[in-house]
Amino acid sequence: MGRRRSYESGTCDVPLLGETIGENLARTVARVGERESLVDRPSGRRWTYAELDKDVRRLAKALLAAGVEREQRVGIWSTNCAEWVLVQYATALVGAVLVNLNPAYRAHELEYVLNQSGIRLLVVSAATERSDYPGIVSSVAGRCPALQRVVVIGEPSLEELLEASEQTDDEALDTRSSSLDPDDPINIQYTSGTTGFPKGATLSHHNILNNGYFVGELLSYDEHDRICLPVPFYHCFGMVMGNLGATTHGSCIVIPAPSFDPAATLETVAAEHCTSLYGVPTMFIAELSHPSFAGHDLSSLRTGIMAGSPCPVEVMKRVVSDMNMSEVAICYGMTETSPVSTQTRVDDDLERRTETVGRVMPHLEVKVRDPKSDRVVDRGEPGELCTRGYSVMLGYWEDPEATAQAVDRAGWMHTGDLAVMREDGYLNIVGRIKDMVIRGGENVYPREVEEFLYSHPDIVDVQVVGVPDERYGEELCAWVLLKEGAPRLDAAGLREFCTGHLAHYKIPRYVLVAESFPMTVTGKVRKVEMRERSIELLGLDEAARVRHA
């Protein structure tokens, strides 16, 4: 038998959906209109599919009355709530491009995204103890010329927007919706950029509708499923794998809390008889270790998804045994691929489900290539994982150069992840070509953090590396060279400097003050060596030994 290349294609008898998000929702409403579609536990509100359709259409007509044109950008900067879901589907109905903003953004990050995407109308959370969203918007709005209107959830500005829906009739909305094409851009999600600026992955109806649908297909969803979503909607994990995975199957979206709360999640699963639960590994760890864990009846669970960062094998085993999630799946992907490229199957054995990231999704292709020669490597050999098919983004918003670097002329998305394809087609992620850090499901590029830290008055040079962490998968460690005579800098001091300027997950947990950095003979910083030395200096050997799929 000759060599077996590391290539797989996802054959499937179920065809791709050739429709828009609005058309798909209308089909679901016609089929299961009286079934529950959305439960917002914090507010106590509930919607059937018929009621959801009514409220989505009202908001869509309000957007038309506000002058929102096809492919204009509408932003949402909010924690999880029912309004997030309504905005997601209403913008899809009118063909506006929904721009997801991370609730952890600070002022300079918000300003960049508002301007880079050209957001015209922005929906924001009301002020909370953690963040004054309207106040931050006001502080940057004068430098964002495209921004014309800000609507605050729970305040009169939202009701004023909705009241204007009476100025638009159903015929006008149907005319707009029927003019849309499945390949139209419908969503921009920002990923951390290696140049220090985020890039806006631009996704179509076809991209995200089908990805959500096939994730749900592989989890055997139907109208009896109730999906608990503690994962953020601003990520593909929440809005695609969660919301679109639900509505394409007539399942119910259940929101346990505005942001992750392990007690609220466990209480919601029990009270709402949820059949599916999503989370990054840190969320499942927090739930399993919560003092009230044993007091919650989780017997309704059968499935769910663990994704977002490498999944510790032992945690996955406990999720299966202690949370009754016998059909739980691991998903692997990236925002640029809508997001899921590989997924374990409900009938996979425990070894595949705990020690791999699954196999290729239906209608997609994956290959593992040698980054130097570009040749597909043999099975069992490491190389860069690439994926091709309906899920690959339209491109980075107004950044053709970055798009060309990510997607080659044959249509392959280069993930930057190092993987090994086993003989059975299942994949293991073994590292990353570049030095991106994944902290609790959040992608962080050290370059972005380094550029900000260079503004510290006492720092001469800085390098940021990822180090292993049992809870978050990885944490950031900053190696710093200080100016002569500068006071000693510790992690608390660095955190104080960063707070309010960098999102919390980008702030280094550790600081190592050095006199020099390890360098190659050609003068390049050896980050691999820095990571190894960081593990040793910080005593992280035990965290480094935790196995991941």
431 within a domain of the structure (yes/no): no
List the one residue out of 285, 280, 202, 289 whose CA is nearest residue 242: 280
63 within a domain of the structure (yes/no): yes
418-470: per-residue pLDDT in tens?
A: 899 999 999 998 766 777 788 888 878 787 888 789 889 999 888 899 999 98
Q: What is the CA radius of gyration of the chain?
A: 23
Is the same domain home to 157 and 275? Answer: yes
In Å, how far are 337, 476, 493 from 479, measured between CA atoms? 33, 10, 14
Is the same domain home to 247 and 353? Answer: yes
Q: What's the pLDDT at 389?
A: 98
2 within a domain of the structure (yes/no): no
Q: Which residue range is the domain that position 190 belongs to?
A: 21-419
Is the same domain home to 156 and 254? Answer: yes
CATH number of the domain within which 507 lies? 3.30.300.30
How sure is the predictor about 281, in pLDDT bands with cuts at 50, 70 and 90?
confident
Is the same domain home to 344 and 299? Answer: yes
344-382: per-residue pLDDT in tens?
A: 999 999 889 888 999 999 999 999 999 889 999 999 998
- Number of domains observed in the structure of the chain: 2
Judge whether residue 531 has pLDDT over 70. yes
Last residue of one domain, picked from the residues 350, 384, 419: 419
In Å, how far are 128, 198, 451 from 121, measured between CA atoms? 21, 20, 30
Is the same domain home to 370 and 465? Answer: no
Q: Identify the sign of the CA torsion 20, 26, 27, 29.
A: positive
How sure is the predictor about 194, in pLDDT bands with cuts at 50, 70 and 90?
very low
What's the average model confidence in pLDDT over 178-182?
A: 98
Judge whether residue 390 has pLDDT over 60. yes
What's the average model confidence in pLDDT over 159-188?
A: 98
Chain centroid, CA 203 distance in Å? 13
201 within a domain of the structure (yes/no): yes
Is the same domain home to 269 and 378? Answer: yes
354 within a domain of the structure (yes/no): yes
Helix, strand or coil for residue 509? coil
166 within a domain of the structure (yes/no): yes
Is the same domain home to 194 and 84? Answer: yes
Is the same domain home to 208 and 315? Answer: yes
Q: What's the pLDDT at 346?
A: 93
Is the same domain home to 354 and 466? Answer: no
Highest mean pLDDT among 222-231, 483-492, 528-537: 222-231
14 within a domain of the structure (yes/no): no
What is the pLDDT of the chain when averaged over all its residues?
Answer: 93
Q: CA 532, 536, 541: angle at the middle one, nearest 5?
A: 95
How sure is the predictor about 520, in pLDDT bands with cuts at 50, 70 and 90?
low
Q: What's the pLDDT at 522?
A: 45
Cβ-count burial 288-323 (b if 16+ within 10 Å, e if not): eebeebeebebebbbbbbbbbbbbbbebbebbbeeb
Last residue of one domain, picked from the residues 392, 419, 446: 419
List the one residue out of 29, 32, 71, 34 whose CA is nearest residue 53: 29
Is the same domain home to 391 and 449? Answer: no
489 within a domain of the structure (yes/no): yes
Is the same domain home to 274 and 357? Answer: yes
Is the same domain home to 390 and 487? Answer: no
Q: What's the pLDDT at 523?
A: 56
What's the average model confidence in pLDDT over 494-519?
A: 92
Last residue of one domain, picked from the residues 372, 388, 419: 419
CATH number of the domain within which 307 lies? 3.40.50.12780
Helix, strand or coil for residue 303? strand
